[in-house]
Amino acid sequence: MGAPSFPEAHPDAPDLAHAIRIIKEKLAAGASFMITQLFFDNRYYDDFVRRAREAGIDVPIVPGIWPITNVKQIEKVSQLSKADLPERLLAELRAREDSPEAVLDFGVAYATLQCADLLAAGAPGIHFYTLNRSPATRAILSALKLMRPWVARGERLAAGAI
């Protein structure tokens, strides 16, 4: 059974240490893996996993990724969830705001790079928040299948895949 986790701490939690304590309660209640809330800066996930491991939590922690397809929507979701929407990312999105296709293309590219980085660093998989917008997720998956970030670069070189 999976349970939610919050790499930037739950919106109502005082801090990340509190969130780690809540995860331990979820594990005691039977959870065997965690899926994170959305985040747009992988440093939050990296820090969260490091702190969870230091606290003795050894279950898989699957990062939750939201492919951005709409500027207003992601601003609202980030506000409600209190997920940090980095200024540079927001500026790039706003620069494309008048072109839904450009927002979609940029959102897919951003999420693809985010996922590739996570998988290359050892994330146990990716959970996509699609909201019935599966074309973006399918595009990300197609790119990831080509990139194969979960395979070490040396192994790809040895196999002649690069």
Q: Is the pTM of this model over 0.85?
A: yes
Three-state SS string over 29-80 comes to CCCCEEEEEECCCHHHHHHHHHHHHHCCCCCCEEEEECCCCCHHHHHHHHHH
**Domains along the sequence of the chain with CATH:** 2-156 (3.20.20.220)
Q: What is the pLDDT along the chain (162 residues), one digit of tens a residue?
A: 999 999 998 888 888 889 899 999 999 999 999 999 999 999 999 999 999 999 999 999 999 999 999 999 999 999 999 999 999 999 999 999 999 999 999 999 999 999 999 999 999 999 999 987 789 999 999 999 999 998 865 564 455 555
DSSP-derived secondary structure letter, 11: T
Burial class (CB in 10 A: 0-12, 13-18, 19+), 124: middle
